[in-house]
């Protein structure tokens, strides 16, 4: 899917990224859609996170979809991750490859 394939029709499935843009556009594609409930999308290059509770399609291969066991409040975990203020710059001091440590 290229950027030119996106629609502005918000009745379609949103195409997401974890960075500031979040919703890149919308698609009518019916494959590769994540529709298993609440999750956190995590970009392992930028360490950006977003809480998502609706069906979506992912744009980037750098995005990891994080879920939780049924007894864990995922929204709380998202807020806690946000509170920690994780950043690539601070993480590189001790870990040259942050994605490998988190994965």
Q: pLDDT by residue (tens digit) across 70-99?
A: 999 999 999 998 898 777 776 555 555 555
Q: Which residues contact 19 (CB under 8 A, 6 or more apart)?
A: 43, 46, 48
The dihedral through the CA atoms of 91, 46, 18, 44 has a sign that is negative
**Confidence (pLDDT) at 47:** 82
Confidence band of 68 (pLDDT split at 50, 70, 90): very high
| pLDDT one-digit tens code per residue, 4-51 | 578 888 889 999 987 778 898 999 998 989 999 999 998 888 888 899
């Amino acid at each position: 899917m290229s950027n030119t394939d996106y629609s502005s029709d918000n009745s379609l499935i949103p195409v997401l990224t974890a960075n500031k843009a979040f919703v890149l556009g919308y698609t009518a594609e019916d494959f590769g859609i994540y529709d298993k409930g609440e999750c956190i999308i995590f970009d392992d290059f930028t360490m950006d996170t977003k809480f998502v509770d609706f069906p979506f399609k992912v744009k980037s291969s750098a995005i990891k979809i994080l879920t939780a066991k049924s007894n864990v409040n995922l929204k709380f975990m998202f807020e806690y991750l946000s509170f920690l203020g994780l950043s690539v710059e601070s993480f590189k001091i001790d870990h040259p490859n942050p994605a490998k440590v988190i994965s």
